[in-house]
Amino acid sequence: MEDKTMSKFQLITKGLVKDNPTFVLLLGMCPTLATTTSAVNGLSMGLATLFVLVLSNMAISAIAPVVPDKVHIPVYIVVIATFVTILQLLMQAFTPGIYATLGLFIPLIVVNCIVLGRAEAFASKHSVGDSALDGLGVGLGFTLSLTVIGLVREILGSGSAFGWKFLPGDGMLAFVMAPGAFLVLGYLMVLFNKYLAKK
Amino acid sequence: MEILLIIVSAIFVNNIVLAQFLGICPYLGVSSKLSTASGMSAAVCFVITLATLVTYLLNKYLLLPFGLEFLQTIAFILVIAALVQMVEIVLKKVSPSLYQALGIFLPLITTNCAVLGVAINVVTKEFTFGLPSHMLGLGEAVLYAFATSLGYGLAMVLFAGLREHLALNDVPKSFRGVPIALITVGILAMAFMGFSGIA
Amino acid sequence: MAVQSNLKSMVLCLTTVCLVCSALLAGVYAMTKAPIDETSARILRESIGAVLPEGGELSEPVAAEVGGQQSEYYVLTKDGAPAAYAVKSCVPGFGGTLEVMVGVTADGVVYNTSVLSHQETPGLGAKCTTDVPFMEQWRGFDPAARVLAVRKDGGDVDAITASTITSRAYTLAVKNAVDLVRSLAGAAPTDGATGASVRPAETQNDGGQDNE
């Protein structure tokens, strides 16, 4: 019993550091770079992906036993695209501001390799409950990375954190724009590597 | 004049990788050698142009008339996946030498968000190109898609060239691999920012 | 563990999944359609409310051409006479279309403005929705007394720092709206020329340090 709860706990926490989708597995780079102009934007994108991950993982683990092997990829893609569109409609209805900011990158969750990757590597072989936890863990790891990158870019680029401005002036604008995304992610990855090497 | 603006804007100003953050995963993945980079670019170019043509027609003559816009994401990704498969089969039969060159990259393209990204952008976004903003016509859409994929190729080949040189240098341990690559892209993106304001 | 892959099972499975998913989506779409419409209507209502004086009666949208683009405006009637207009003005910005709701009183003075949608660069042009001095300068801007152009072009509009193109586009949007209201009131446009002739991207030739 002790052992089992531990493993459930690990399902959730492994995505945060050891199997962090952004810094270790290098998955889902496009939304990571494009939507992290501020901490709030990064957080919203992370949560949107989390939503799709958990639901598609659950649905796929439920239907996996009856899907013929040769068509499993198209079936998974259709399932994922369905949840993405549901999310898109819900966001349009209830959080139009965030939807306008994240724009194109909401429909593009469909081709985020994290989602299809988890479906293929985990959900198709495990129970619905475990798959949900796995989606939650990986989603949280993704959300955490995006929020951190967004926070760093926001602090350097506009002198604020989560919209709260604490530095006067405009900040270094390059960090809000495209080059800053690559630079911040590159240097954060260096720090992450250093941290992992020490451990 | 407008044609020129579309081309310049799609290749340089709004470069798909360096300004729009689309297609980053394969960009980082296959850009370590110049030969694979140019092979991948050619395959992407082919698929983006074809996919945009097909999804544009699909959207205009099937989804919009029946009020099925909410199936856009799902329909587009299925069309792209099927198209990639078909291109693979046709190439294998018609031109084995081209298939040899592009074949291994084709399966990777389905999950390249550049393809879906351009297809969705073209049918949902209004473009300006210095004129009153408007939805793109079929000709413009295909031209835009083609020019965008040329921009992808340009960024890819430039970066592969840089990486080949980078591989010969003694990079600090924590920077090796993806981090130094990201930092290089960041500097490349900064160079491309110089193009903004042209179109 | 998976089912045998023969043609029948594959076709059956794909068809079922597609049908179920489409049905599910159609259901969610039908459910969210009302809230989505309501949300966009609310955003429109709020922006009209923000750019017009209080009180009076607001008309239904009237179709019109604003700066050469098909758009619409709303009339606020007070005491039986039109008191102010809210004009939806769309111009090409730096990253894409910039949609501004411009409130203009019947005597041609800008009451207030509000951005409906934009695709400007975060941290630069996107400041047109947060930069207080830029936004506040439109309140009570009288195009008869001051020139509707950014300072760089010899006008009286303070541009957003490092975002001249966005500021020019915004100014053009306001100008197009003012011109429409003037023509509705029967007066000549602000400078005799058509508003659409100023193209933001082309007028930037001073080689300044502006990014947009």
C90–B74 C-beta distance less than 8 A: no
- Which tokens hold the place of A165? 């401005």
Q: Model confidence over A22-80: pLDDT tens digits?
A: 888 788 888 888 888 889 999 999 999 999 999 999 999 999 888 888 888 888 989 99
Q: What distance in Å separates residue C6's CA from the closest CA in chain A?
A: 8
**What average pLDDT score do residues C118-127 get?**
78
The domain in which residue C167 lies consists of: 52-203
> Has the ipTM of the complex gone over 0.90?
no
* Portion 109-138 of A in contact with C at CB < 8 A: none
Confidence of residue C132 (pLDDT cuts 50, 70, 90): confident
Answer yes or no: is pLDDT of A2 > 50.
no
Higher pLDDT, A9 or A138: A138
C162–A173 C-beta distance less than 8 A: yes
Segment among A194-198, B188-192, C35-39, C170-174 with least mean pLDDT: A194-198
Q: Model confidence over C147-158: pLDDT tens digits?
A: 888 888 888 888
Give CA–CA dist C134/B13, Å, rounded. 27
| CB-based contact, A116 to chain B, within 8 Å | yes
Q: Model confidence over A80-106: pLDDT tens digits?
A: 999 999 999 999 888 888 888 888 889
Answer yes or no: is pLDDT of C193 > 80.
no
Smallest CA–CA distance from B132 into chain C, residue? C92
**Taking CB atoms and an 8 Å cutoff, what residues of chain A touch B192?**
178
CA terminus-to-terminus distance, chain B: 11
Q: Model confidence over C57-111: pLDDT tens digits?
A: 888 888 888 877 788 888 888 888 888 889 998 888 877 788 899 999 888 889 9
Alpha-carbon distances of A19 from A24, A25, A80, rounded to whole Å = 6, 7, 22
Percent of chain A with pLDDT over 90: 32
Answer yes or no: is pLDDT of B53 > 90.
yes
CA B122 to mean position of chain CA atoms: 13
Give CA–CA dist B199/C198, Å, rounded. 15
Answer yes or no: is pLDDT of C195 > 50.
no
Identify whether the C-beta of residue C121 lies closer than 8 Å to the C-beta of residue C130: no
Answer yes or no: is pLDDT of C192 > 70.
no
Alpha-carbon distances of B48 from A36, B88, B144, C121, C123, rounded to whole Å = 26, 14, 10, 25, 31
> Is residue C43 assigned to a domain?
no
pTM of structure: 0.82
Looking at the partner chain, which of C28, C68, C92 has a beta carbon nearest the beta carbon of B130? C92
**What average pLDDT score do residues C3-23 get?**
84
**Taking CB atoms and an 8 Å cutoff, what residues of chain A touch C162?**
170, 173
Tell me what pLDDT residue B130 has.
57
> Is residue C33 assigned to a domain?
no
Count of domains in chain C?
A: 1
- The residues spanned by each domain of chain B are 2-197
Among the listed residues A15, A22, A17, A41, the one whose alpha carbon sits nearest the alpha carbon of residue A185: A22
